[in-house]
Amino acid sequence: MNIKYRVSVPFINNDEIKNVNYALKKNELSGFYGSFISKFEKEFASYCNTKYALTVNSGTTALHLGLLAVGIKRNDEIIVSALTNMATIFAILYIGAKPIPIDIEKNTFNLNTDIIEKKITKKTKAILVVHLFGHPAEMTKIKKLAKKYKLRIIEDCAEAHGAQYKNKKVGSFGDAGCFSLYANKIISTGEGGIITFNSKKYYLKAKNLKELAFGSKNKFMHRDIGFNYRMTNLQAAIGCAQMKKINFIIKRKINIAKLYDKYLFNNSLIVKPYTKKNIKNVFWMYCVSIPKYKKNLRKNIMQKLLSKGIETREMFIPCNLQNIFLKKKLFKKNDCPIANKIAYNSFYLPSGMDLKEKDIKYISSELNKLVK
């Protein structure tokens, strides 16, 4: 089938090609050698207003290292949003820690901060905050709870590069900010991730762990059980080019969301993305929901849109509905009823940089016809 309107398309031009060719000519390929790695890290840290940034090979490994760097250990309990990409949950489980799922707000789909305190126990060591689809979570409340109970804050910013809460960028609120640089993210290195820190101690620990924990005096006398989580210089070369256009990309994402709002405005059956006050939502994806849910309604809508060349994508399935976790009795199905409902009546529309207003008008028109 010919798909004309894809959910997302990487925004690549001659800047990335030029940087990669330069790295190739210099034979600067690996994650140990090359000028683009440190350049990308410094530029990203500066952009997020943090002291440090550390490149890694995925958003998942960014989360894993971020948790390890701040001292999370086996059997620690971690407060986390139920509705997220399962990489967030997997990273906690890699350590042997226990995810404690929190149900979501109906409007933003972020974790409901009014529920968090009830879930805190003596074993709780951190809050892993997900800024879903580019909308920052309520960081004021989260910071207060973290201070009160002496908890670490790890931010999952995989979908929220450049998003702001009260004029402060995500990734700068917590002890570690974890970003994905996968091909469909705000900026991309194809595969990859990056972690922001303000603590030198946490930064150095994560840096050592990502490089197999090599020794300082004798390289092959390892300091810890390390990981091979390095980003290559070729990927960092792409990252440096992407940093030049990050503000342009975000501006386009916001404009695309405004155009969808405009052309879906008169359809009360479609719930559109919501943005709270004092928030800069970067609209990684434009996610809509159909609250008057009927069995197979979403599936039928998505299939009919696909027949028109319009690609869509389902909402994440929350951790408390994942069969792999239910079999292990990690969670109970009804732990997060709002997330459960949203998961099966929501999907996101194309939001690539190549979309023009006429394209968004057409996509909206086709969706409006289907949802009456």
The tokens 């700068």 sit on which residue? 172
Q: Where are the alpha helices (DSSP H) in the chain?
A: 14-25, 35-48, 59-69, 87-95, 113-119, 139-149, 200-210, 233-243, 246-264, 297-307, 323-327, 337-345, 357-370
Map out the domains of the chain with their CATH numbers: 14-103+111-243 (3.40.640.10), 246-370 (3.90.1150.10)
User: In Å, how far from its chain's centre is CA 101?
Assistant: 17
For residue 338, give both structure tokens. 């709002």
Q: What residues contact 174, with CB distance under 8 A and at least 6 apart?
A: 129, 152, 153, 154, 155
Nearest C-alpha neighbor of 322 from the set 117, 67, 99 = 99
> For the segment 304-356, what is each residue's pLDDT rounded down to a tens digit?
999 999 999 999 999 999 999 999 999 999 999 999 999 999 999 999 999 99
The whole-number pLDDT of residue 1 equals 65
| 183-201: average pLDDT | 98
Query: 295: pLDDT confidence band, cut at 50, 70 and 90?
Result: confident
For residue 295, give both structure tokens. 């069995």
Would you say 29 and 23 are in contact if contact means Cβ atoms under 8 Å apart?
Answer: yes
For residue 371, give both structure tokens. 């949802």
Coil, helix or strand at residue 359: helix
Query: 293: pLDDT confidence band, cut at 50, 70 and 90?
Result: low
Would you say 310 and 5 are in contact if contact means Cβ atoms under 8 Å apart?
Answer: yes
Nearest C-alpha neighbor of 227 from the set 94, 125, 130, 129 = 94
User: In Å, how far from its chain's centre is CA 341?
Assistant: 21
Q: What 8-state DSSP symbol labels residue 133? A: G
Q: Encode 227-280 in three state secondary structure.
A: CECCCCHHHHHHHHHHHCCHHHHHHHHHHHHHHHHHHHCCCCCCECCCCCCCEE
Average per-residue pLDDT for the chain? 96
User: Which pTM was predicted?
Assistant: 0.96
| 32-43: average pLDDT | 95
DSSP sequence for 302-352:
HHHHHHTTB--EEPPPPGGG-HHHHHTTSS-GGG-HHHHHHHHHEEEE---
For residue 117, give both structure tokens. 């305190």
Q: What residues contact 349, with CB distance under 8 A and at least 6 apart?
A: 7, 260, 285, 286, 287, 288, 310, 312, 363, 367
**What are the φ/ψ torsions at residue 25 (nearest 5 degrees)?**
-65, -30
Q: How far apart are CA 271 and CA 273, in angstroms?
A: 7
Would you say 250 and 260 are in contact if contact means Cβ atoms under 8 Å apart?
Answer: no
Residue 177 exposed, middle or buried by CB count within 10 Å (0-12, 13-18, 19+): buried
For residue 34, give both structure tokens. 């090359």
Q: With 80 as the cut, is the pLDDT of residue 184 above it?
A: yes
> For the segment 81-91, what is each residue's pLDDT rounded down to a tens digit?
999 999 999 99
| 12-30: average pLDDT | 96
Nearest C-alpha neighbor of 207 from the set 183, 237, 238, 231 = 231
Q: How far apart are CA 94 and CA 157, in angstroms?
A: 19
> For the segment 234-276, what is each residue's pLDDT rounded down to a tens digit?
999 999 999 999 999 999 999 999 999 999 999 999 999 999 9
Coil, helix or strand at residue 298: helix
Query: 291: pLDDT confidence band, cut at 50, 70 and 90?
Result: confident
